[in-house]
Amino acid sequence: MAVKAAGEGIGTASQRVETRDGPRVASIGLRMLDAFPFVTRHPSLVTRHGLSLLSIASFLALWHLLAIVIASPYLPTPLAVARAAIAAFFERDFLGFTIQQHIASSLVRIVWGFGLAALLAVPLGLASGWLRSVEHLTGPVVELLRPIPPLAWIPFAIYFFGDPFDAVFIVFLAAFFPILLSTLAGVKAVDPILIDAARTLGAKRLRLFLQVVLPAALGNIVTGMRIGLGVGWMCIMAAEMVGVKGGGLGVYIWSMGEIGRFDAVFAGMAIIGVVGIALTGAMGWVEKRISKA
């Protein structure tokens, strides 16, 4: 009866599971689990939110504990970080920027770099996926440049382009190749039978491309964009830390580290995380709009 009272997942599982030692042992093992009623495969909504809260609370508690025990100037407590984060919105740092301005600088670079990359990589990927000759023309150069990590271009970019195009260029490189390769793969993965079907229905050349190849490859294109955006966001941080001028979240955390303000460093990290989530969310929204159209 105790088993049944424990509810959904566990109760029924313990009656069904049979191990080599016989069903009794398994049943005892599972009954011990009954002490934790939230350990089920399909927890309720309330349980789910409760668990999320518990997860974050324990993380913060552990962090706090560690920070106090270790007592290092490089590991601030969560409370100190929160204070620094709030202050950063209202006070200018020694570089003369508020955190909003840093966020804006990074976002502008991402938007330009990513936008240009998408604008160039999608058509190029479509063309080289659909037309063999374009693939043979562009393929070797792409394979030559692709293995160079975008970050390796930073010295060149800083001295050649300068602010603000250096950072835009790095984001562009970071986003370009994932978008290009995904788009190319998307076009190549179009089921040939769909193309045959369209041809028997009277589709030719441009129509065939616009009405069949493009919609069929759309999923891959968007995936490439999401990866490109992620890589771009990573690379912009690195570029800003290395010496891109004119503010930015990477500049902020690096500068704060240099003057030993590690509460502000962690605050900056948290904000980078939040902006990253927002970017992913925006991409997801675009994705949904595209797939609905």
Partner 1 sequence: MLQVRRVIHSFDSMTVLSDLSFDVPAGKFVCIVGPNGCGKTTLLRLIAGLARPTRGEIVLNGKPIQEPGPERGFVFQEYALFPWRSVRKNIEFGLEMRGVAPLQRREISKRYIDLVGLRGFEDYAIRRLSGGMKQKVSIARALANEPIVILMDEPFAALDCQTRNVMQEELLNIWDASRERKTILFVTHNVEEAVFLADLVLVLSHRPGRLVEALPVNLPRPRDRISPELHRLRGHILDLLAAQMPREELLQESCEVVRD
Q: Whose CA is closest to 109, among 4, 232, 196, 276?
A: 232
Nearer to partner 1, 20 or 292 (CB): 292
Q: How far is the CB of 87 from partner 1 (least distance, A)?
A: 50
| Interaction of residue 206 with partner 1, rule CB under 8 A | no
Q: What is the CA radius of gyration of the chain?
A: 26
DSSP-H helix ranges across 91-213: 99-130, 132-145, 154-160, 165-188, 192-200, 205-208
Q: How far is the CB of 289 from partner 1 (least distance, A)?
A: 14
Looking at residue 213, the DSSP 8-state letter turns out to be I
Q: Which residues contact 225 (CB under 8 A, 6 or more apart)?
A: 114, 118, 175, 179, 182, 283
Spatial contact of 67 and 77, defined as CB atoms under 8 Å apart: yes
- Number of residues lying near partner 1 (CB under 8 A): 18
| Interaction of residue 211 with partner 1, rule CB under 8 A | yes
Token pair 């293995």 is at which residue?
147
| Interaction of residue 115 with partner 1, rule CB under 8 A | no
Which of 80, 203, 238, 270 forms a contact with partner 1 (CB under 8 A)? 203
- Span from 104-112, 180-188, 209-217, 271-279 in contact with partner 1 (CB under 8 A): 209-217
Nearer to partner 1, 41 or 289 (CB): 289
Q: Which residues contact 158 (CB under 8 A, 6 or more apart)?
A: 166, 242, 243, 244
| Interaction of residue 216 with partner 1, rule CB under 8 A | yes
Q: How far is the CB of 208 from partner 1 (least distance, A)?
A: 9
> What's the gap between Cα 97 and its chain centre?
27
Which of 8, 18, 21, 196 forms a contact with partner 1 (CB under 8 A)? 196
Nearer to partner 1, 201 or 282 (CB): 201
Q: How far is the CB of 209 from partner 1 (least distance, A)?
A: 12
Q: Whose CA is closest to 82, among 62, 98, 64, 103?
A: 64
Q: How far is the CB of 122 from partner 1 (least distance, A)?
A: 17
Can you read off the two tokens belonging to residue 147? Answer: 């293995």
Q: How far is the CB of 218 from partner 1 (least distance, A)?
A: 8
Write out the residues near partner 1 by the rule CB under 8 A: 191, 193-194, 196-204, 207, 211-212, 215-216, 218
